[in-house]
Amino acid sequence: MNILELKGISMIYGQVKALYEVDLTVEQGEWLAIMGPSGSGKTTMMNIIGCMDKPTDGSVTFDGQEISKLGPSELTAIRRDKIGLIFQQFHLISYLTALENVMVAQYYHSMIDEDEALQALERVGLKDRAKHLPRQLSGGEQQRVCIARALINYPRLILADEPTGNLDETNEGVVMDILSKLHGEGSTIIVVTHDPEVAEFAEKTVFLDHGRINKIVRNSRPANAKTDADALKAAGAL
């Protein structure tokens, strides 16, 4: 069953074709990587899939609903209810603790549940850092808080933009392991990345070039994409 279907998607800024007649389908529970050089249209595609932008042409069907013509408030509702966003820059709220950063997503979604937010932090190995402010956390820990926040409302789709772009190798392993576990539990994941090693975790990699899909490669998970169990244990994620 397809959770996402892009048909003839174009995004044109003046004379610039950021995306041009792109077709793509993503199945429920699938892990997809989107790769491409700078300016290939990765961010534009992520914004359209993440309901943060609308295509100038084509249709987007997400979870059975045509969303390309929806208004800003309807798109906000879809982001809130169905999409978990993970950012390269983490984007945590600086004056809220790790726990509160997770609870903010609950607050906008429906109602807060501190125990559930703590459980989400526990899943990413940060229960004991729940009362820390973002500036008191390392980059890897901040990214894990970002993941906990993305998961808290049980999204239909996890959309990650360069999730390991600002992390060292150890924390990259920790984050990819968490994503692998989520995928193992049935989550649909789309990762936008420059890093081929990150892309190799996905079942399918879409290569973009000049706003068009160049090729789609089905991956067989390589040996070097295994998680670093020691690093995970050291980081407390296991």
Partner 1 sequence: MFMKMLVSSLIRRRSRMLVALIAIAIGATVLLGMVAISFDIPRQMGREFRSYGANMILVPSGEDALVKLSDAERAAAFIPKEQLVGMTPYRYEIVRINMQGYTAAGTSFDDVRRTSPYWNVNGEWPKGADDILIGSDIAEFTRITPGTVIAITGRSGSGARFKRDMTVSGIVRTGSVEDAFIFMHMPTLEELMGDSGTAEVVEISVATSEAGLGELVSRIEAEVPGVSPRLVKRVTQSETAVLSKLQSLVFLVTLVVLALTMICVATTMMTVVMERRKEIGLKKAIGAGNRSIAAEFIGEGLLLGVAGGLFGGVCGYFFAQAVSMNVFGRSVYLDWKLLPLTAAVSAVVTVAACLGPVRRATDVEPALVLRGE
CA separation for the pair 88, 137 (Å, rounded): 15
Considering the complex, what minimum distance in angstroms separates the CB of residue 80 from partner 1? Answer: 2
Q: How far is CA 58 from the centre of its chain?
A: 23
Tokens of 163: 């999730």
The reply on whether position 154 binds partner 1 by CB under 8 A is no
The reply on whether position 52 binds partner 1 by CB under 8 A is yes
The reply on whether position 42 binds partner 1 by CB under 8 A is no
The reply on whether position 107 binds partner 1 by CB under 8 A is yes
The reply on whether position 36 binds partner 1 by CB under 8 A is no
Beta-bridge mates of residue 208: 213
Considering the complex, what minimum distance in angstroms separates the CB of residue 108 from partner 1? Answer: 4
* Cβ-based burial of 72 (10 A; exposed 0-12, middle 13-18, buried ≥19): exposed
Considering the complex, what minimum distance in angstroms separates the CB of residue 123 from partner 1? Answer: 18
From 100, 141, 177, 200, residue interacting with partner 1 (rule: CB under 8 A) = 100
Q: Give the chain's radius of gyration (CA, Å).
A: 17
From 43, 68, 188, 205, residue interacting with partner 1 (rule: CB under 8 A) = 43
Segment near partner 1 (CB under 8 A), from 7-15, 24-32, 100-108, 165-173? 100-108
Q: Residue 210: left if φ>0, alpha if ψ -120 to 50, beta else—which one?
A: left
